[in-house]
Amino acid sequence: MRRALLFVILAALGCEREMASMMEGGPMDGGRPDVPVDMPDGMMPDIGPLDAEPPDVEPPDADPNPLRVNHMQVRGTNNSYHTNTNPFDLEFRDYYHLPLSEQAGEQGIRFFDFDLDPDRESSIVLEPRVSDALDIETICPSWFICLFELDLWMDENPRHALFVFFIAESWRFNSPPFLFQQLDDLEEDAVLTLGRDRILTPADVRGEYRTLREAIQQRGWPTAEEARGKVMLVLNDRAEARTRYLERGGLDPEDRLLFLIGEPARAEDPDTGDEVIFSFEPEFDGDPWYFETEPAELERMRDLAAAGYLVHGVSDDPQMIDDLQAAGTHFVATRYPEDVFGEIPPAGPVACNLVTRPDDCDPAEFEAAPR
């Protein structure tokens, strides 16, 4: 029923071409695994084992130290919607990405980055594109259709590892009250296209703990199996959109869909207990972009990863990509995935994190290599 409704909406939007290309990907009725919401006891890298006994619901042969979300390392694309449309001949715009389903399938991308551009005439819906004024065309014309394309791919690949989406920037949005409506629309589109059961929310991770930080320190992130086939939505903003989202909390303040980006300098601040994801995005410097992360910042990333937080970093330089991976960066993104990452390794699209992995980490447990 949900899928039929999506096609009616797409037809009304005049997206017959996108619908046809999505239909070519295969059947749309692929099954979805039942993902448990309870997480077994575990340990953080710098905390040690807990004294509590495993819950009674655990089967007797359950792994006492399963692989968790923060034990993995995934490939990502920066501005994942970007094409090589470059009317002003700007060198830093001279790159393009494959369609999202091909990024996921052929390049092993599990981290996607979207700059959402609200329709400023209605000030409500996130249309007509997911880019700024310099990106006249994109590989999918809206946030809704981007999600729909990935939803189809996930139907056909239900055993994929956790997807992570970074979304939004505050300056693209209107001021209240429209900003509240736009944030609601963002969540509504995610639920309509993906289904609520496919979204890993802060409440899912927090459980009975007071804050997300307490949850990951005392119990740990969800296991790789619990997060399999799901997506995590992250609001990549430290300004007004973030403030307004905290004020009202999206569609349901008790069950927000979006995780928040933390300020690395405030990582130990007790007042920021729900900030468990940190982004390190180097400044624009020259033409084209030149991403360089200082050694001290790499060490900071390593410390955050070791403490159980999730870390995001960006670079177009192969050596810096290696440095980011060595520092325990979980989401390693670039504009040039073919040049920087190359083919999907034989072990599969997801690697064991070089800082947080347990000794017996097997990347195939996150996601098996493609056949």
102 pairs with which residues across the strands?
none
At which residue do the structure tokens 């919401």 appear?
37
Give the pLDDT score at 64: 77
3-state secondary structure of 191: helix
The pLDDT tens digits of the residues spanning 123-182 come to 334 433 444 445 456 787 778 888 999 999 999 999 999 999 988 665 566 666 777 878
Tell me how far apart the alpha carbons of residues 249 and 253 are, in angstroms, rounded to a whole number.
4
- Please count the residues of the chain: 371
The pLDDT tens digits of the residues spanning 46-98 come to 433 334 444 444 555 567 789 999 999 999 998 888 776 554 445 555 678 89
The DSSP line for 3-17 is HHHHHHHHHHTT-HH
The per-type count for the chain, helices as H runs and strands as E runs, is 12, 9
CB half-sphere exposure, 66, CA atoms < 13 A: 21
pLDDT band at 10 (very low <50, low <70, confident <90, very high): low
Q: Give percent of the chain with pLDDT exceeding 70.
A: 69
Q: How far is CA 108 from CA 73, 91, 162, 316, 345, in A?
A: 12, 26, 12, 17, 9
Q: Can you state the angle between helices 2-12 and 16-23, rounded to 10 degrees?
A: 140
The pLDDT tens digits of the residues spanning 166-194 come to 886 655 666 667 778 788 888 988 999 99
**Which residues have CB under 8 Å from 142's CB, separation 6+?**
13, 126, 127, 128, 129, 130
